[in-house]
Chains A and B, each alone.
Chain A
Amino acid sequence: DARVTQTPRHKVTEMGQEVTMRCQPILGHNTVFWYRQTMMQGLELLAYFRNRAPLDDSGMPKDRFSAEMPDATLATLKIQPSEPRDSAVYFCASGLEGARGNYGYTFGSGTRLTVV
């Protein structure tokens, strides 16, 4: 089965450090989402891209978070500087435009970030 690959799976970092999370979407998918999952807030949409162009990043704290797609096989989410409240699991998901969500989206296994 095709998979969305996220790296690293786990990351522990000190407050103030830069964190970069990576996502390899499924080949041929042109829509990529970044979600953050916490116990308190549940799943929050941070940003999403279509054909590598950002469509909506209104859920992302702009002062410290940035999301990019340098090419069709790589999406990145960066936090600089990181804070303890950023501790969460970050999920990437990819899908294909035109399906109108009929097939849903495929999620990666997530990056568990802990900021101490």
Chain B
Amino acid sequence: GDSVTQMEGPVTLSEEAFLTINCTYTATGYPSLFWYVQYPGEGLQLLLKATKADDKGSNKGFEATYRKETTSFHLEKGSVQVSDSAVYFCALIRQGGSEKLVFGKGTKLTVNP
């Protein structure tokens, strides 16, 4: 079945450091890919998305590129802030399928001042 694998956390960085959170997927066909962010005590918020190979999603300084050849969608940010501390989830929806969101297990990021 469809699945998403994220790098295990937690990840702890200093402010202004470079962030990469790895995400790979397994799916039939060509899924749409997403990153969601969950701040403490809140629900999940859509951070960015990409719907086809080589698409780059971006938002709030975060970026991720849909790499079909490596089945990856790694999240990056050039300079993290304390306010970026949250749990980040990679997810997919299989196009033409049942349109269920399949999530990775999440990666907790802590940014220290």
Contacts and interface: CB of A to CB of B under 8 A. Distances in A.
Interface of A: 4, 31, 33, 42-43, 45, 48, 55-56, 91, 93, 97, 100-110
Contact of A104 (B46, B98, B105): B46
The winner among A4, A42, A56, A108 for most chain B CB atoms within 10 A is A42
Nearest to B35: A104
Q: Interface residue tally of chain B, by bracket?
A: 20 to 34
14 contacts: A33-B100, A42-B106, A55-B98, A56-B100, A91-B44, A101-B34, A101-B93, A101-B101, A103-B49, A104-B34, A104-B49, A104-B101, A107-B36, A108-B43
B93 A100 contact: yes
Contacts of B93: 100-101
Interface in B89-112: 89, 93, 95-96, 98-106
B101 A105 contact: yes
Nearest to B41: A109
